[in-house]
Amino acid sequence: MSTLQITGRVARPRELTFADLAAVSGDDQVIDVSRIVPGRKGDAVRLAGLLKLVEPAADAKYLGLHASRDDFHASIPLAAVVDRGLVIYRVDGQPLSVQAGGPFRFFIPDFAACHTDEVDECANVKYVERIELTADKGHDNRPHDGEEHAALHARQ
Among candidates 25, 7, 24, 5, which has minimal Cα distance to 16? 5
| Upper half-sphere CA count for residue 46 (Cβ side, 13 Å) | 14
Choose which of 9, 66, 90, 126 interacts with ligand MTE (CB under 6 A).
126
66 touches ligand MTE (CB under 6 A): no
Q: Are 65 and 128 in contact (CB under 8 A)?
A: yes
By CB under 6 A, the residues from 2 to 61 that bind ligand MTE are none
How many residues interact with Mo ion (rule CB under 5 A)? Answer: 1
Q: Which of the choices ligand MTE, Mo ion, none does residue 73 contact, using the CB cut-off of 5 to 8 A by kind?
A: none
112 touches ligand MTE (CB under 6 A): no
Q: How far apart are alpha carbons 63 and 49 in whole angstroms?
A: 14
- Length of the chain equals 156
* Strand 86-91 versus strand 72-77 pairing type: unpaired
- Give the shortest CB-4-to-ligand MTE separation in angstroms: 14
Among candidates 66, 81, 75, which has minimal Cα distance to 130? 66
User: Where does this chain touch ligand MTE (CB under 6 A) — which range of 7-15, 16-24, 51-59, 121-129?
Assistant: 121-129
**Tally of helices (H runs) and strands (E runs) in the chain:** 4, 10
- Give the shortest CB-8-to-ligand MTE separation in angstroms: 19
111 touches ligand MTE (CB under 6 A): no
Q: Which residue is nearest to Mo ion (CB)?
A: 114
Nearer to Mo ion, 98 or 151 (CB): 151
Q: How far apart are alpha carbons 79 and 72 in whole angstroms?
A: 22
Choose which of 44, 96, 122, 131 interacts with ligand MTE (CB under 6 A).
122
Q: Which of the choices ligand MTE, Mo ion, none does residue 88 contact, using the CB cut-off of 5 to 8 A by kind?
A: none
